Amino acid sequence: MKKNMTYMDSVHRYGKIWGIGISILLISFPIVVSLVFSAKPEWSALAKGLFATLPMYWAVGIIEVLTYVPMLGAGGTYLSFVTGNISNLKLPCAVDAMERANVKANSEEGEVISTIAIAVSSIVTTIIIILGVILIIPLTPILESPVLDPAFAMILPALFGGLAVVFISKNVKLSILPVLLMLVLFIFIPALNASTVGIMVPVGVVFTVIVARIMYKKGML
């Protein structure tokens, strides 16, 4: 007798299908373009570039899986990895939604809330991109106005700052060392800028977990 599929079974099944599907599409695009336009890459240069970048991306990929799954749940992680822009958009949306619903990512309720929040953010993002493409020409003078430039530069800090206030206020002692680490890294290592946020978020999470474990063992939490 066939076993009835549970919600989590369906999450993993369709998550794997879409994950494998999007991976095939991403890999196929440069291959198809190369075949259609007869533009073969210079293999020595390609290999050199891959050897320089692949180790970092493999490490980041492993760290992100270990980091995001406990924070987003299985469904949210699958959907985030397919739609992308996790640290800047999907993670804050999911965390805020679960915080407002007072649920945890490892619960069934948290799974549902996280997945819905990420799905809605993906739909909203797509709609905004479509509107942006349509309205980009008439809105260009407004968007490039010097008056609005400082506001656009502060969108990401404002987003994470709002989330930080909520979580730091819950456990000030635990937040001190991770905040100090990030401040020291970004102040004294200029190479770390906005483009590295995707890497530094998992690094900060892993460091925070280690600090939390040590403080818990010492009875400080």
- The span from the CA of 95 to the CA of 112, in Å, is 12
Is residue 115 within 8 Å of 75, Cβ to Cβ?
A: yes
Q: What is the pTM of this model?
A: 0.64
Tell me the average pLDDT across 184-190: 81
| Domain count for the chain | 1
Write the burial class of residue 75 (CB in 10 Å: 0-12 exposed, 13-18 middle, 19+ buried): buried
Q: Is residue 65 part of a domain?
A: yes
Please say whether the beta carbons of 144 and 194 come within 8 A.
no
Location of structure tokens 């968007």: 143
Give the range among 25-39, 161-175, 200-214 with minimum mean pLDDT: 161-175
77-110 pLDDT, tens digit each: 999 988 888 877 888 889 889 988 888 888 888 8
Which structural domain, as residue segments, surrounds residue 85?
Answer: 55-146
Question: Per-residue pLDDT tens for 149-171?
Answer: 788 778 777 777 777 777 777 77
Q: Is residue 5 part of a domain?
A: no
